[in-house]
Structures are given as C-alpha cells and as structure tokens.
Structure 1
Amino acid sequence: IDPLRMLMVGGRAYVEAWCRRAEAVRLFRADRIDAVTELDEPAVVPPQARPHDLTDGVFRPSPDLPLITLRIGRGERWITEYYPCERVEAGDGDQWLVSLRVTDLGWARRFVLGLGPEVSVVAPAELADQVRAQALAALEAYGTPVLGAATSADPAVGAVTQ
C-alpha cells in the first residue's frame, strides 16, 4: 500500500492508502494489520487517488454491492442495530429475515461463520454453498463426523450416497 493518511472513525484507527493489489483507495483498520514491512522505495500515490468522504461513516452500502439475506434468531438481532440493513422482517417464530449489503462475499462468509447456530444464509446460494463447505471442512479438520456421512472411523456405517 501507499499510505495517504491515518484517521480515527468511530473510535477506531484506520490507514487510508492506495492499495496496489486493488488499484484503488482502501481503508485498513490499524488494529487488524498483522505486520508491516517498509519498502526501500517511497510511497507513490497516483493522481486519481482521492480520500474517502467519511462524514457518514466508513461503510456506505450501495446497490452495486452484493445483497445477502440471513435468517437470524433472537440472539443475533444485534446485527440489525450494528449493520445498515435494507430489509428486516419477522419470519417463523422468533426468527427474522435480514437483508444487507456487503463489500464482498468473502467478508460475508467470514461474518456468517463467526456467528452462532441461530444464523443461516437464505441468499445468495453461492454464499450458502461457501459457508456450508467451509463449515464442513472445519468439522472434518477436527475429526467430527458429519451427520449422514460415512466415516472410515465407523466401519458399521455402510455406503452412503449423497
């Protein structure tokens, strides 16, 4: 990155910089930076790089960003207070359907996986598939048998077609 400025927004420190990989101006939360390596070359910010207007906060949802819909239980309703939601509606029982814009599906996958069992992905199907695949991979890494699947550790289980 080629730093533009350091700033505080909502009590958090950010580095605003030209990201060489994304070829765009990006915000990086300072507390989430794991390592810094100073290069021998000076920072070179291209002339088209413009700092973000952060008067309305760091994240500003827009129609061009992916829309996700989650089914959340009572314990996860804090999401509607913490994130800007486009739609919140009562579902079955204590569950709500919540739709919100995200910067990308990779972030959404990590977000959903960090939530509890009271959350499931309704849409898009691609996100639901990614969350399911990563959750199954995590269970497999821990050696936890997945319900309905045969494991080599259980010889009594016959062949299973899925």
Structure 2
Amino acid sequence: MLSEEDISLDLVTKGKQSALSRIAIRIARRNGLDEQMVIRGLFDHECLGSTGIGRGVAIPHALLGMISSPAASLTRLAQPIDFDGPDDDPVDLIYTILWPASATSAFLPALSQICRLLRASQVRARLRQARTSDEALAILEAKPVPAISTNLHTCCFEPGVLVSRHLSNA
C-alpha cells in the first residue's frame, strides 16, 4: 500500500488534530482525493474512539465511498503527541489508511495485519531510527508477514510482504 512518496519522516505538528489534518491533506493530494472528505472521514472515525493502539503508534483510518482502491501513509512525528491511546504513551508513528467502502470485508484483515506489523518492537525501533523514506519502506518490506491481496473483495493473503507498491497505484 505504500511507496516512498507516502512516507513522511519527522513531521512537526502541534497535536492530534493538526497531525491528522496535515496527514489527510497529504494523502488526499497524493491520491487525487477531495481533502475535506478525507479530513472528515478521519476525524469522524477518531470521534468514535482513539485509533492509538499503544506503544507510540496510531492507525487512523476511514472507509470512504469515493475511492476504489486503498491509500495509505506512514508518518513519523518529530515529537510525540498525545493520541489518547490505551497505554497513554504519546504517539510518534502514524500509519493512516483510507479504504474503499465497497470493500469492507477486506478491511479488517488488512487493518489487523498492519497492527501486527507495527506491534513488533523491532519494526517500531527501526522506523524510529530510519533516516530516509526509502529506509523506512525497506523496514516495512523486510518484515516477514503475508501480503495484502490486490483482490479487495476477498483479501486473500499471499506469501510476500505487507507493502505493495502496485496496490496504491491500482
């Protein structure tokens, strides 16, 4: 789901709302989406409960009717921010996912897979030390987890890697 252009390292932000807005605008522009719809989708979901999963990680996400393929971004913040996570640890790694509302059956398996990836302490530590977007992408690609299928309706898991360059370009 990610390419180097979808990764932002050391984003300076003032807090959760600012971070979500800036990430939403970036992912919307990168994928030719309406910025306000993406912002609203992420904020609406965040109002239901924090997407912080603990250990300094948040995975904000939204199901959107206006997209036909998933879009994602990985953001490492320059300074951790409060994200109301379950462990109250401030967040510095934010993996944002926009998913087609027409493919909801594939969404939860994909979200679960990303959660498992980012719960790995070695992955988090290496992402926090990455110096370039390319290096961060290589860290995600190196983790031995099943890939997300490009068939959004069945989301079959295939051997390989989580990060699929062609999925975001579909």
TM-score (norm 1): 0.24
Structure with the greater relative contact order (CA < 8 A, sep ≥ 6): 1 or 2?
2
Normalized per residue, which structure has more strand?
1
Normalized per residue, which structure has more helix?
2
TM-score (norm 2): 0.23
